[in-house]
Every structure is written in structure tokens, then in C-alpha cells.
Amino acid sequence: MDIFERMRAGELILESDPDYPILQKAFEKGMQLVETLNGSYHTDAEIRDILSQLTGKPVDPSVRMFLPFYTVFGQFTSFGKNVFINSGCTFLDRGGITLEDDVFIGPKVCVITENHPEEPHLRHNVYTRPVVIKRNAWIGAGAVILPGVTVGENAIVGAGSVVTRDVPDNVIVSGNPARFIRNIKI
């Protein structure tokens, strides 16, 4: 497996890895595209075009994003149809971020797939766990979704919540750490 496959699989990637320079080049490309994205005004179509370059795959014409948007990598983010991302969001996607159809992301949401080992001598290195936000989920303003979390279909994550574990379908969670509030009225 190459370094991208190993990273996506959750392997601890050491800065001393002989393939790390390849990864560093991908970070530089991602940061350049983010600078282009946030550097000036863009139409919705131009934003989608830059996101397509960032992810390496076409972004559906129904996807909308309000800038600014932040990421370092970008290649492991996947957008479904009719996704909306509000301004000021940060996606750290080295482990993979999947936004299914009709996902609604509030402003200043952080979706994080990366973590560091607790051992001090390894802490500068990274391992990853994917994040999946299922169809029609709504992530409230300023929420933080941590590595390995799946947010269920139709679920709502309250503003400012820190989501540390999976959220079932059709529920509202809120708080730090996010806890079950109630079922959604369907």
C-alpha cells in the first residue's frame, strides 16, 4: 500500500516515513487550492470547480458552500448531492470525510479525522479514523465532529457540541460530549 492508502486505513504515519515527502507535496497542493478558494470572490460554479480539483473528483452542481473553507489535504472528502456547507468550516480529512446527500453543515463546524498518539515520543505523528455524516443530517454551528464518528440519517447535532461517538439515526444530540436529547419528530 502507498502512504495514502496506509493513512486512510488508520496506520500511524510517522514524519520519518520514507514516503512522507509525497504526502507533504499533497498538503502543499491542498493548501494552494484552499488559498485560491478563499483568496477572492467566486461564483458557486467556480467554488465547485476548485472543490473538484481539491478532492480529485467531480462535485455535484447541487453542492453549495459559503467561504471561507479550510483544509490542508482535501483529497479524502466526498460530497453527496444537495450538500450545504456554511462559512468558516474546517475539514481535516486525512482519514476520509463522507457527506451523504442533503447534509447541512452550519458555520464554523470542524470535522476532524486525525489524531495523535498519547505517547510523548510519538505525538508529532498522525493516525486517522473516517467520519461519515449520513443523509439529511444537520450539524449545528460550531460543532466539532471527532475521528471515527458516524452521524446518523436525519440526525441533528446541536450548536457547539463535541461529538465523540456515533450518533444514531433520527435523534438530536447536544453538549460536550454530545448526548442524546430526544428523538426527532418525523
pTM across the whole model: 0.96
What is the pLDDT, as a whole number, of residue 180?
98
> Average pLDDT, whole number, for the chain?
97
Domain region containing 132:
3-183
Give the burial string for 122-160 (b: 16+ CB within 10 Å, else e).
eeebbbbbbbbbbbbbbbbbbbbbbbbbbbbbbbbbbeb
Catalytic residue among 42, 116, 121, 124: 116
What is the pLDDT, as a whole number, of residue 50?
98
- β-bridge pairing 171-174 and 179-183: antiparallel
What is the pLDDT, as a whole number, of residue 178?
98
Q: What is the largest CA-CA distance in the chain?
A: 53
Give the count of domains, the chain: 1
Residue 57 contacts residue 78 (beta carbons within 8 Å):
yes
CATH of the domain at 157: 2.160.10.10
> Any catalytic annotation for residue 124?
no
What is the pLDDT, as a whole number, of residue 67?
98
Low-confidence ranges of the chain (pLDDT < 50): none
What is the pLDDT, as a whole number, of residue 186?
81
